[in-house]
Structure 1
Amino acid sequence: MSSPRVLSIQSHMVSGYCGNKAATFPLQLLGFDVDVMNTVNFSNHTGYPSWTGERATGEHLLQLYKGLQTNGLVEYTHILTGYIGSAQNLSAVTEIIAQLRTHGDPFFVLDPVMGDNGQLYVHSDVIPLYRKLMKYANAITPNQFEAEILADKKITDVKSCLEVLDILHTTGVENVVITSVSLLPSDVAAHAAHWHPHHHHHHKDEETTEPSMYCVCSSKGDQDETKKVFAIGFPTYDGYFTGTGDLFSALLVAWLDEALVEAQPPAKAGSAYGLGSKEMHTPLVRACVKVVATMKAVVLRSYLAQMGITSGGQLDRTQASSAAVIKRCELRLIQSKKDIEQPDEQGVEAVELSWIEKGKH
């Protein structure tokens, strides 16, 4: 059987791990042939004090696609898109994806890279185009800010997060993963669909008023199928990280592909990830647990390397303006080969969320 083959359309850096540089190695390790189409070609990522290079135009991207098509090279099993940049490029990519769908049924993972931490780093004219492109996507991986932009609704708690997921599903996308959402652990516990010992044991911790970070994933199939939503908590570090979203989306392509293949025989029920044996896990949450497990390992390894350069202290933002410091803050991707191939799921727990809030004990 031939390897799955993915067309990855996103940015390229000569040095460092962002965009296609963060996506290609993990996908290849996990058995994918990867064709890369670069939306920018920069010397390094834009977190450095300076960079050189050029941005592709929409015409340039269409020309590349035409060359592939002429030579019969457009039989893809998967499509992954990341940073596209301009509205012109996004229109071209939408056209490419529409054409690729005439050559089969590639599974399309869309990372709507628009901004973070409340700030857009693309022109706002791309927002309606992303909403249109979503109808082609099998899965989308926005961060909290991007999910809020696409749904035109703020996430302030679990309830509003569930509402945003509903809005995003209405575009027709089956799998929605908000890669990082800030939520109160007590709020997550109050909306947990199933009681299990973990909640009881950590009840005091969950009363904290400090929010934690979660990956929240939601899958919705046919019209009569109910939506299943899970929250997966993960630790955060006061460091400098670039390319984590690109790595997340690439890992999701691979692990969701495996989970969907495994789900084709009679659906498996299992006791993994803290739920009782009678509870069904969706392919999406099984994939997301593996993705988060790898992300935890890569980010921790990268953080420990950063701590090493700051003599055990926190990374001062003024230091992060130095090219020499930022270079040493690049993701430790190659060093994480084992964590990419065999994610350690120990301690990575998926909690199913329900609309019904339970009373606090």
Structure 2
Amino acid sequence: MGDMGRGMYVSDSVVPLYREMVQYATIVCPNQFEAQILAEQEITSLDTLYAVLSTLHVKRGSPNVVITSVDLSDEDLHHIGAQPKLASDGTTLMTLIGSSFDHSQQQSSSSASPRELLRPWFIQFPEVPGYFSGVGDTFSALLIGRFDPSSTARSDSSAAPSHVARAAELAIASLQSVLSRTSEAISQAPPLPDNTQLTILAKAALPESAKWPTDQAEIDKLTAAQRRVEEMRPRELKIVQSKADIENPHVVYHATNFANL
């Protein structure tokens, strides 16, 4: 749907449909921007975080919510038992937050508020610097692929708070390996071709049925498009090269329940 600092990727007219579809999802895993759009509320504090989670669970109807990156103040991170955003070694830490909600439990515990029934947890892990394309989609695929209540919860002595939390641990482990391998490939990529070479590449990429333009403005457009292709080529996620890490992830970053507030 969109991202912080970039805005919407889709038309505003389809947002109500996204909100309506949440009730049919066993898991939703938006980023912070998307979670705010779906819940129609910004996350600026722990209270508003709880409000967004509650809306996605109770009003929108999804039993499991995983917000892939949440920007909280260091004070709020401390309150939930997490580390500051900037680690002592200078590494930037990202915070993923998830929760699960059992609607039947709400009915049997009429005196409990939705906030008391959310059972939120978090995972902190180091940011892999750089711009990558398709990270959210890859994480979603890994999360769904690992989510199996019959086997993932504590099958390997994991102390993860829930089935979806264990799936998130495994997904992050695989994704960190993919991003690290991709980052290494970017650092080793050769310099971009010059404009003359880019024009040659753009011409070679045209279908046989297409004619190369004679207008210089059109040629410049094709050359610029080829530049974007060459810039993104080394940034393609190294998923195939990370097959072993996807099949057998080594979990380093674990899910932890929120501290008692």
Task: Verify same fold: TM over 0.5.
Answer: yes
Tell me the alpha carbon deviations over residues 104-149 of structure 1, each in whole angstroms, 9 at most, x when there is no partner.
Answer: xxxxxxxxxx111240011101111111111111111111100011
The aligned counterpart of 1:44 is none
Deviation for aligned residue 1:224: 2.2
Q: How far apart in 2 are the matches of 1:309 and 1:160?
A: 43
Q: Which amino acid aligns with 1:167?
A: T
Q: How far apart in 2 are the matches of 1:116 and 1:159?
A: 22
Is the aligned partner of 1:162 residue 2:47? no
The aligned counterpart of 1:145 is 33
Does the aligned pair in 2 maintain the 1:185–1:211 contact within 8 Å? no
> Which structure has greater helix proportion?
2
Q: How far apart in 2 are the matches of 1:172 and 1:323?
A: 40
The aligned counterpart of 1:242 is 133
Is the aligned partner of 1:131 residue 2:19? yes
The two structures have a TM-score, normalised by structure 2, of 0.72
Does the aligned pair in 2 maintain the 1:229–1:354 contact within 8 Å? no
Is the aligned partner of 1:179 residue 2:68? yes
The two structures have a TM-score, normalised by structure 1, of 0.53
> Which structure has greater strand proportion?
1
Root-mean-square deviation (CA), in Å?
3.2
Is the aligned partner of 1:219 residue 2:107? no
Does the aligned pair in 2 maintain the 1:230–1:353 contact within 8 Å? yes
* Sequence identity percentage: 35
Q: Which amino acid aligns with 2:241?
A: Q
Name structure 2 gaps, 5 residues minimum. Answer: 107-116, 192-223
Q: How far apart in 2 are the matches of 1:284 and 1:331?
A: 24
Q: How far apart in 1 are the matches of 2:155 and 2:246?
A: 25
Q: Looking at CA atoms only, which structure, 1 or 2, has the larger radius of gyration?
A: 2
Is the aligned partner of 1:326 residue 2:232? yes
Q: How far apart in 2 are the matches of 1:294 and 1:326?
A: 22
Does the aligned pair in 2 maintain the 1:269–1:281 contact within 8 Å? no
Q: Secondary structure at the match of 2:183?
A: helix
Is the aligned partner of 1:191 residue 2:89? no
Q: Is the alpha carbon distance of 1:310 and 1:151 closer, same or farther for their aligned partners in structure 2, counting shifts above 3 Å? A: farther
Q: Secondary structure at the match of 1:299?
A: helix
Alignment of 1:15-34 (within 5 A): none
Q: How far apart in 2 are the matches of 1:244 and 1:139?
A: 17
The aligned counterpart of 2:168 is 288
Does the aligned pair in 2 maintain the 1:189–1:206 contact within 8 Å? no
Q: Secondary structure at the match of 1:214?
A: strand
Q: How far apart in 2 are the matches of 1:172 and 1:135?
A: 4
Q: How far apart in 1 are the matches of 2:103 and 2:79?
A: 28
Is the aligned partner of 1:352 residue 2:257? yes
Name structure 1 gaps, 5 residues minimum. Answer: 1-113, 193-198, 274-279, 312-317, 357-361
